[in-house]
Structure 1
Amino acid sequence: MKNYILNRKYCTVVTIIFMMFVSLLFNACDNNDNEGGAITISKVYLEDVNSSVLDRQVTFARLGQLIRVEGAGFEGLKKVYINGFETYFNVVYVSRTSMLVSISADTPTIDADPAVRNTIRFVNDSNEVIFPFEIRSGAPVITSISNTLPKAGEMITVFGSGLTEIEKVVFPGNIAVTSGITSDEDGEFFTVTVPAGVSTNGGSLLVEGANGGAYSPAYFNFKKGVILDFDGNGTHGFWGSDVGMIKDADLESAAIGMQNISQGKYVPHRPSRIASFAAGANRCSEAWTAGTGTDNWRGQLTPYIPASTPLDQVAFQFDIYVPQDWTNTGYLKICLINNFNGGAWTGGLYNFVPWLTDEGKVVPFKTAGWQTVTVPLTKFYSFSKGDFTFEDVLAFREAATYQNFGVWFENSNVKWSNVSGESSELEFPSSATSVSVYTDNWRIVSLNTPVYSDFSN
């Protein structure tokens, strides 16, 4: 039945487009007695085969979209300018009263001459008409947020594309901010101050600007997902007398960071009692949850993130502060359970090496204040290949003898082949380090992103 419905919809789309094109072709063959006459524009329609409304009257369109213009006097049409940009059109799809034209990706938008921005100009040999019509860039996209668990009054930066002239940000709890927003001219980011009253259930940010609206993933202020914040949410676990075991006495609470400040207690991954970590050392320091008998991810998290959720829609987030350059050596090993050896690059863990770029270049990592790191659970090596759900991770933890979730500092050599998954002889030898790395607010979050529609239906 599903295939039948899809096929029927496809046939409907093809039929409508075919009939529209035939009509245009037929009308294009009519007499051209009015060539060079007055041009009038009455309506503009968006042609979208992926929408439930295939031929929709609109007041704006985006780069790359196909529009149908209705009016009169299109015979002999010579030029079409969109935002001042001369735009190609096929005369086959021009009739006396209608024409099709695709908005070129090269069309200027916010950088168009203000005199011609948001206009379409139609020209024949003797006449022309300028029709006011909003032209938007591609739909905006949010890719990350500098801190997804900030305090009210702190500033955050939202990164993405198409984020130009942002006028409104709606936070979870339907708290709207319309002032104090600073947008990047290239639309790659904007800044905004977090208002009071944001919902502790968390959710998505909704932003609206010159290019329309967009949602962030549903991970902003998601306090329900905190598994350990060292201030009472979750239980800090520790045992034995190993020098590297981080205990309650090792936690720090002095206010540190700029713009986004520390929140209560946090983990120093090089406790003050350890001056430095030696080169080639594994498991230099380690911090854990209490684990078996205390951790209950299924009970805590599945009311908000169903076990059936595809794993690429679930992530581990934590906040990090690194006041001085962290480069060339050391990384954080993030473990779903407590059952790994030093140097491992397989299993239910992920190695966070922030000073290495995706191209294998060393770039020192440093933060001015606390910022959020998002690690999709599909980054964990056991779950990086295959179709997994959140249930697979829950079951993996529940089957473990030691169900502690942990983060430890490792200072062994880093092979690029382990980081990239590609064959390579490139290796980054470790060296002694006294770098200070702090983390806090360990949490599991949803990466589900609501779909924003330009149209109410």
Structure 2
Amino acid sequence: MNKVTFHQIYRSWPLFVLAMIFTCIQSACKKDVTTGGPEITSVRNYAASPADTLVSTIITGQRVVLIGHNLKDAVQISFNGVPASINSVLFSDTSATVLVPEVIPFPSVPAESLNTIRYVTRQGATTFTFSIAAPPPSITAVSNENAKEGDSVYISGLNLFFISELSFAGTAITHFSEATDGTSVGFVLPALTQSGPVVVNTKSGIATTPYNVNDDKTGVLCNFDDINTFSWGTNTDNSSVAFPGNRGYYAVLKNDVLPAGDGNWWNGGRSINTNDVQWIPTDSLGVSIDDYALKFEINVPAAWSGTSIYVVKGYAFDYLARYEPWQGTNGAVTPFTTKGWHTVTIPLSLFRTNDGKGTAAADLTTLLGATATGAVNIQTKNFSGSPSASGLQAAVDNIRVVKIK
């Protein structure tokens, strides 16, 4: 019996080997299909049908859908060499929805990385050649809208590179320095002759501020000089020693280290209170609350943290806006100073209930009332349960409300 069994096995051995080889081939083929390297075949616009069309060019900050194969388990997706944020919920084997990075430093991108999408999974990687363009520039802030000749000024925004022309209040800026990532451009301010917007002209478009700079009249509620609605509170001064670069008179907010929860804003040096003023024209009450902002220039020569500056209208504390530049994310605190004067912009949508941490007003009428008039009150408080980390000394000037959109 043993001989017969061995003989039968021996004779069937070639068939057994062939069967095993065939099984291995099938297994290998199946693995190649399901776990092979990624492949991108096209790019679609991220939108509901029928707007989810194929695109031939994408721009920074755009959300797109990459179409292809083996796109699951992505570990990195980069555009022009800049990694994008990955959300695994938006991936399948044949598509990946991803946000193109908002900041791509086009001038410093190596030639071999330009117009490329690099896709990496645990199983492999691929590089897809595709047109990636910089959108038109945008301006988000001006470091000092009322700077003086010789002051350093910085324009913040996006895609501020390949600049062909730059002007400030109608005056051409011929010497400037661009950040390589396009988020800022700096220059020394020349002599100015008028008010006007900031205009940045680049290869991809033009950005213009909706408000004027070098302008101490438009929307100004109090500049402590020719528009002086100051009523009571802290002292005013025009000295250029303590606060160099001033434009006439200014108010000085000042307090020592404050005990926990100290909100005695009526104490000496702790508030700026104007007479009733017209915040915005009544015929503008119907526009979006996001369209307007309260602005002022501030000068903080010594490190400041812990004390909060806040703004209310007409001594009504139902809506309040805080200014706490020392307050970082996750509770981190970084002492704040300015190098000279700095423009503060507080959109009216940031006036909120619950000590400035609650909900915004539904509209401008709710916030400002039917006549949009009332005092401007800029005051200080320690909102925390511990003594403030420092005192405060800050000059404030050119309080205004202007359209920012």
What TM bracket, shorter-length normalisation? 0.5 to 0.7
Aligned length: 309
Partner of 1:184: 179
Q: Which amino acid aligns with 2:287?
A: T
Match of 1:251 in 2: 236
Paired residue type of 2:228? G
- Is 1:311–1:377's contact at 8 Å kept on the other side of the alignment? yes
TM-score normalised by length of structure 2:
0.62
Q: Which amino acid aligns with 1:319?
A: E
**Which residue of 2 is the match for residue 141 of structure 1?**
138
| 108 and 360 in structure 1: CA distance in 2 versus 1, 3 angstrom threshold | closer
2:145 and 2:378 map into 1 onto residues whose CA distance is: 20
Say if 1:353 and 1:108 are closer, same or farther in 2 by CA, change over 3 A. Answer: closer
Partner SS for 1:237:
strand
The alignment partner of 2:301 has SS state of coil
> Does residue 308 of structure 2 align to residue 331 of structure 1?
yes
Cα 1:108/1:269, change in 2 over 3 Å: closer
Aligned pair in 2 of structure 1 residues 307, 114: CA closer, same or farther (>3 Å)?
A: same
| Residue of structure 2 in register with 1:77 after alignment | none
Give the superposition deviation at 1:434.
Answer: 4.1
> What percentage of residue pairs aligned between the two structures are identical?
24
- Which residue pairs with 2:404 in the alignment? 447
1:282 maps to 2:264: yes
Contact 1:136 1:210 in 2 (8 A): no
* 1:156 counterpart residue number: 153
Q: Which amino acid aligns with 1:430?
A: S
- Residue 168 of structure 1 pairs with residue 165 of structure 2: yes
Greater Rg by CA: 2
Per the alignment, do residues 62 and 231 of structure 1 end up closer, same or farther by CA in structure 2, a change over 3 Å counting?
same
Q: CA deviation at 1:199?
A: 4.3
CA distance in 2, matches of 1:434, 1:325: 9
Residue of structure 2 equivalent to 1:381:
352
How far apart are the structure 2 equivalents of 1:147 and 1:262? 12
Give 1:351's aligned amino acid.
Answer: R
Instruction: Return closer, same or farther for 1:65/1:254 CA change in 2, 3 Å cut-off.
Output: same
Match of 1:122 in 2: none
Deviation of residue 438 (structure 1)?
1.5
Following superposition of structure 1 onto structure 2, how do residues 254-403 of structure 1 map, counting pairs within 5 Å? Answer: 254-256=239-241, 261-270=245-254, 276=256, 278-279=258-259, 280=262, 282-283=264-265, 284=267, 285-291=270-276, 295-297=277-279, 301-302=280-281, 306-328=284-306, 330-339=307-316, 347-382=318-353, 385=359, 388-395=362-369, 403=374
- On the 8 A contact 1:333/1:350 being kept in 2, the answer is yes
Amino acid paired to 1:316: L
Quick one: which amino acid aligns to residue 282 of structure 1? Answer: N
Which one of the candidate residues 396, 411, 430 is aligned to 2:388? 430
Root-mean-square deviation over aligned CA pairs? 4.3
Give the drift of 1:440. Answer: 1.0
Match of 1:228 in 2: 222
Whole-Å separation in 2 of the counterparts to 1:325 and 1:84:
38
AA aligned opposite 1:338: Y
Q: Take 1:83 and 1:408, find their aligned partners in 2: how far apart are those partners? A: 47
SS of the residue 1:438 aligns to: strand
Deviations 1:53-90 (A, max 9, x none): xx9xx9x9746699xxxxxxxxxxxxxxx9999xxxxx
Letter in 1 for 2:200: V
Equivalent-residue separation in structure 1 for 2:375 and 2:168 (angstroms): 33
Contact (CA 8 Å) 1:219, 1:447: kept in 2 or not? Answer: no
**Residue number in structure 1 paired with 2:38:** none
The answer to whether the 8 A contact 1:171-1:198 is kept is no
Helix, strand or coil: the match of 1:367? coil
8 A contact 1:157–1:192 mirrored in 2: yes
Flag the 1:211–1:381 CA change in 2: closer, same or farther, 3 A: same
Task: Give the corresponding residue for 2:76.
Answer: none
Native 8 Å contact 1:347 1:380 kept in 2? no
Structure 1: state its 5+ residue gaps.
1-46, 67-81, 86-103, 120-132, 239-244, 340-345, 416-426, 449-457
Q: Residues of 1 paired with 2:131 and 2:150: CA distance? A: 35
**Change beyond 3 A, Cα 1:257–1:317:** farther
> Please, what TM-score do these two structures have when normalized by structure 1?
0.56
Q: Kindly indicate whether the alpha-carbon contact (under 8 Å) linking 1:166 and 1:181 is maintained by their aligned counterparts in 2.
A: no
- Tell me which amino acid in the other structure corresponds to 1:407: I
Go from structure 1 to structure 2 and tell me whether the alpha carbon gap of 1:376 and 1:105 turns closer, same or farther (over 3 Å shift).
closer
| Deviation (angstroms), 1:436 | 1.4
Question: Distance between the aligned counterparts of 2:299 and 2:47, measured in 1?
Answer: 47
Query: What secondary structure does 1:359 align onto?
Result: helix
Aligned with 2:369: secondary structure? helix
Kindly state the Cα deviation for residue 356 of structure 1 after the two structures are TM-superposed.
1.1
Using a 3 Å threshold, how does the CA distance of structure 1 residues 253 and 110 change in structure 2: closer, same or farther? same
Q: CA distance change for structure 1 residues 398 and 205 in 2, over 3 Å: closer, same or farther?
A: closer
Q: Specify whether residues 405 and 180 from structure 1 end up closer, same or farther in structure 2 by C-alpha distance, changes over 3 A only.
A: same
Counterpart contact for 2:257–2:388, Cα < 8 Å: no
More strand by percentage: 2
User: Match for 1:406 among 373, 377, 388?
Assistant: 377
Q: Secondary structure at the match of 2:392?
A: coil
What are the equivalent positions in structure 2 for 1:83-232 lying under 5 Å apart? 109-113=106-110, 136-173=133-170, 175-177=171-173, 179-197=174-192, 199-200=194-195, 202=196, 204-218=197-211, 220-222=213-215, 223-232=217-226
Q: Deviations over 1:271-317 (max 9, x none)?
A: xxx7x3552352142221122xxx234xxx429x8232211111100
